[in-house]
Amino acid sequence: MQMSSGNPTINVGIIGASGYTGAELLRIASQHPNFEIRVATGDSMAGRRAADLYPSLQVAYPNLVFSEFDSSAVDGLDLVFLGLPHAASMEMVPSLVGSVGCVVDLSAAYRLKDAAAYPAFYGFEHTQPDLLSEAVFGLPELHRKELSDAKLVATPGCHVTAATLALRPLVEAGLIKTSGVIVNTVTGITGAGRNPTETNVYTNVESNAAAYGLLSHRHTPEMEQEIGAQLIFTPHLVPMSRGLLATCYAQPADACSADAVLDAQREFFLTEPFVAVVDGAPATKSVLGSNSAHVSATYDERTGTVIAMCAIDNLTKGASGGAVQAANIALGLDEATGLATVGLAP
């Protein structure tokens, strides 16, 4: 790090900057007083201006051109974000840890503590068990202490972030049973990535809602690891660009009430800078473009069911914003630096 006007200048590289999470990282970095983007790679878009692909970046990055990955270009940087496919991140991380100050991986390559789960849920063998054990799960609301001075951060992703924020307070308070939990999410199309596929082509998305990953979605073990409960997870793709809403159902443990579950969330998140406990059901538009999460919970006496909810922006708190929040902590900055708490409305 270098000192600049009393603030440390953090030299940043984004590997895989041409995807949606990379573009969101660039947007956030443009508002971060410490970040200086030194490298932005995008092999498929190498040689192309970032502002040509994302015109919203024109004012902040008029001359930024995506480059091909070159290990010598990132060597010695203070912070490197990885926006790569899972297996590609796993292969690259060993060459980065130790040569850069902090690596923040937006893939799932280092999220699971059980390496044996990767073949079943991600389709590849994990070949870096030592680094897997060293990686810190990048959800500050649960792992703030471990994130301090972390050299490798594994960000949780949008579905896991929302479900964990909704349910973990209730598990810790002993208010819900830790088996038979149901997690349903609806998510914006940006979660499917920038490359055109049958999933995100306009004619298949417009006026359509579809469940996917039935019974064996790859993020299920991450949720169970962080929430501390056995669950079934079903995500749904809906026709909006960005946003994610998790609605979770659980059976109560012993005495339970609507006040008890809401109070448990309020106590858990009392000092959290980005989590608000709201009365009633949260909505995705309320957090659009921000790093905030709106959570709520209630208890239905008629059916004996606890309902917990969380709304986030899938690209911000659910990906790039959460990654920056974790990086801020790892580098000793105020975790809110460069991150918005107010959504875009109307």
- Catalytic residue list: 158
DSSP state of 17: T
Residue 146 CB partners (closer than 8 Å, separation 6+): 136, 137
Contact 227, 167 (CB under 8 A): yes
Contact 34, 327 (CB under 8 A): no
Q: How far is CA 20 from the centre of its chain?
A: 13
Pairing label, strands 231-237, 181-187: parallel
List, in sequence order, every residue forming a beta bridge with 95; answer none if it has no partner: none
How far is the C-alpha of 164 from the C-alpha of 323, rounded, in Å?
16
Report which secondary-structure segment, H or E, holds 231.
Answer: strand 231-237
Q: How far is CA 253 from the centre of its chain?
A: 29
Phi and psi at residue 163, to the nearest 5°: -65, -40
How many beta carbons lie within 10 A of that of residue 228, not counting itself? 13
Single out the residue of 232, 234, 189 nearest to residue 211, CA to CA: 234
Contact 112, 221 (CB under 8 A): yes
Q: How far is CA 130 from the centre of its chain?
A: 23
Contact 46, 66 (CB under 8 A): yes
Residue 93 CB partners (closer than 8 Å, separation 6+): 82, 103, 105, 109, 110, 128, 131, 152
- Return contacts of 177-181, CB within 8 angstroms, 24+ apart: 177/229, 177/250, 177/251, 177/252, 177/253, 178/228, 178/229, 178/230, 179/229, 179/230, 180/230, 180/231, 180/250, 180/251, 181/227, 181/229, 181/230, 181/231, 181/232, 181/248, 181/249, 181/250
